[in-house]
Amino acid sequence: MILCDTDRKILHRLQSNLPLESRPFLALSKELGIDEDTIIERIKYMIDNKFVRRLAPIINTQAMGREATLAAIKVPEDRIEEVSEIINEYTGVSHNYLRKGKNKEIPYNMWFTMSAKDDEELNSNLKEIEDRTGLVVRSLPTVKKFKIGVKFKIY
């Protein structure tokens, strides 16, 4: 299953905002020179085949009043599965990865992002993870944001 040129063209455009007018896909069809119904059909195809996760509003958790952080833990090799399961239970956890330093050793191996409705909930969740795992959780919240915009070159 691969994407055709039409799909790539649509996908590239869809990483930017969908027009806010009554017939957004008709507006796109004029921009891209692809028929309105074809655009809709190809988006459905790309979602059904999981090239696209979804076409939806991308929420800015902080602007919505939520608090978020990147957290890191040093998890012993034999407890990785157990600890990852505990962390993933929290609905505010959107990413959780095992990471390794390539050119240098680093003091933590599990990295996750967590958001919560406010600082209190965030800190109490992190504290709870510390209590449940007996491990230290380092919280690395954003001090300053220089870029956030996951837009990929589509070849």
Q: Which of residues 84-113 bind another protein (CB under 8 A)?
A: 84, 87-88, 91, 93-104, 106-108, 110-112
Report 120-139 residues binding another protein (CB under 8 A): 138
- Assigned token pair, 133: 């795992």
Which is nearer to another protein, 5 or 58 (by Cβ)? 58
Q: Which phi-psi region, left, alpha or beta, contains residue 19 (left: φ > 0; alpha: ψ -120 to 50)?
A: beta
Per rule CB under 8 A, is residue 115 in the interface with another protein? yes
Q: How far apart are the first and last CA of the chain?
A: 15
Subset of residues 17 to 76 that bind another protein, contact rule: CB under 8 A = 17-18, 20-26, 36-37, 40, 43-44, 47, 50-61, 63-64, 66, 70, 72
- Nearest to residue 37, comparing CAs of 114, 63, 45? 45
